[in-house]
Amino acid sequence: MAERPILFNGAMVRAILAGQKTQTRRAVKPQPFEASFLDAPGQYLPSFEEGRLRVATSKGAHLLTCPFGRPGDRLWVRETWAQPTTLDPGPTVYRADYPACVPAGFENVPPAEEIRWRPSIHMPRWACRLVLEITDVRVERLQAISARDCQGEGIESDAGGGFHVEGGTHYSTDPIESFASLWTSTGGDWDSNPWVWVIEFKRVEAAHG
């Protein structure tokens, strides 16, 4: 079993904590340059060979290596974090759900704007509180996402027939349009319909610093 870091923004961390997010899509890099490389029918074969995904195409089988791992591997989540000196010898805290993440018993909890938050990219393994186990990996076009998978990506539905993230952002009456808005907001290109790694996962550990 291998373990690798993965970045999530605050909204997606909250979705994982709430049990709403069980998938993530990340662009394949580099993108396949031959149209026929991945576009053949019947391409997805559910088997890994030496850690690589076997993809059948009209030109034969290709082996693609997912940089995030394979089923059974784990991902530890990097998120915005801090260790406020006003809470000395206080705990590690997390921007995504602060101050709810502060353990009971601590006093003089400072407001979020007074904390010197550390970027997620600089989070060390020991400060991680979320560990995910990969349950499935596949390759598909970004726009091939289903309405059900949009919910796995953290898109919520409401009684009025709308879809959104966290009660209003990226709102649409179509879950795929809502996800497209979310994807674009993180710097992704929806219109080019890139090939993406689809990584499904389950939360297996909550290790607080």
Chain centroid to Cα 45, Å, comes to 23
Q: What is the pLDDT of residues 127-182, one digit of tens each?
A: 999 999 999 998 888 999 999 999 999 999 998 889 999 878 999 999 999 999 99
Mode of pairing for the β-strands spanning 131-141 and 195-205 = antiparallel
Q: Are 102 and 95 in contact (CB under 8 A)?
A: no
Name the DSSP letter for residue 110: P
Tell me what pLDDT residue 52 has.
81
Tell me what pLDDT residue 209 has.
43
Tell me what pLDDT residue 208 has.
47
Alpha-carbon distance of 152 to 156, in angstroms, equals 9
Tell me what pLDDT residue 157 has.
92
Tell me what pLDDT residue 36 has.
60
The residues near 108 (Cβ < 8 Å, ≥ 6 apart) are 86, 87
Which residues lie across from 163 on neighbouring strands?
Answer: 157, 172
Tell me what pLDDT residue 15 has.
96
- Bond before 124 cis per omega within 30 degrees: no
In the chain, the amino acid numbered 102 is: V
Which residues lie across from 26 on neighbouring strands?
Answer: 197
Alpha-carbon distance of 36 to 81, in angstroms, equals 44
Tell me what pLDDT residue 35 has.
58
> What are the structure tokens assigned to 25, written together?
């899509």
**Sites in the chain below the pLDDT cut of 50:** 208-209
Chain centroid to Cα 21, Å, comes to 8
> What are the structure tokens assigned to 20, written together?
């709403």
Alpha-carbon distance of 25 to 186, in angstroms, equals 12
